[in-house]
Amino acid sequence: MSKPRKPKGRPVSGWLILDKPLDFGSTEAVSKIKWLFKAQKAGHAGTLDPLASGMLPIALGDATKTVPYVMDGRKIYEFTVAWGEERTTDDLEGEVARSSAERPTEEAIRALLPKYTGVISQVPPQFSAIKIDGERAYDLARDGEAVEIPAREVEVFRLSLIGCTPHLAHFEIECGKGTYVRSLARDMGRDLGCFGHIASLRRTFVAPFGEDDMVALADLVALEKVEDEAERLAALDDFLIETGQALSGLPHIAVSDDQAHRLKMGNPIILRGREAPLPTPEAYATARGKLVAIGEVAEGEFRPKRVFATS
């Protein structure tokens, strides 16, 4: 009987909040970070198109278990809409599908914003990662197939006009999971009777991470020049954010070393005292500031669902 293969790479864990540059795909960025850190596992929390820049949270090692919590977080984008053309991809990459000589006034744009605030119905772009009968929409679109993508509800918490010229409008949006800014530009252009597409898009926030957490790819790549591997990896690890920071929106329980050991073995612990949290389907436990487990609080116990060997 053959022995199980030992995972390649280091069991390093944590979040790297990359400031993704333009013309660099999200999958490509994750591969680069995984290689730089020599990590066993890596994944990201929310795709950014190659023509979009900004925050791409990348999870290494055990932090990949917390990706869904970051995926569900609020996001903030700054974006520019170019009026006069609707494009097949709803951004600069696509071909012109429709055009107009009309241009909207600032007053008309501002009057439209309430329609796109709150819970709205939105049809994702033809070139998107939405699955249609098991196929990615962008693969079907590249093959020349026109597919009908069903509308879905998304939530926009805030949509602000920052400034505009006759041909361009600059916005900032705070939105929930699954919102396509490209669809927003397309739909606003249609409502204004002038058509529109995304000319620039930058993500500046993915809850709970902010702009101050972002790291430029150039700063990481520069460390490739450090010949001593231990020194190089230590310098890279300094950019990582503790895995538990991704769970700051959940109730928190601080536990002792003995309790942490029980949790890591998959056993529940009894919660006592005034500081014991109320029953909740999800909470996270830390010991000495390190993430130990995610679980539920019920009947005076914390019951682990996911445990973290390293953090």
Cα angle for residues 226, 228, 234 (degrees, 5° grid): 80
Distance CA 34, CA 279 (A): 38
Q: Tell me which H or E stretch contains 257.
A: helix 257-264
Q: Give catalytic status of residue 238 as yes or no.
A: no
Task: List, in sequence order, every beta strand (DSSP E) within the chain.
Answer: 14-20, 42-44, 52-60, 75-83, 85-87, 96-99, 118-122, 131-132, 135-136, 152-164, 168-175, 196-206, 215-216, 252-254, 269-270, 280-287, 290-298, 301-307
Query: What are the residues whose beta carbons fall under 8 Å from the beta carbon of 246, sequence distance 6 or more?
Result: 15, 57, 59, 63, 66, 69, 70, 208
| CA 270 to the chain's CA centroid | 35
CB 285, CB 256: distance < 8 Å = no
CA angle 128–133–138, rounded 5-degree value: 20
Tell me which of 19, 49, 91, 187 is the catalytic residue: 49
Cα–Cα distance measured from residue 132 to residue 241, given in angstroms and rounded to the nearest whole number: 36
Q: Quick one: three-class SS letters along 82-115? A: EECEEECCCECCCCEEEECCCCCCHHHHHHHHHH
Catalytic residues, by residue number, are: 49
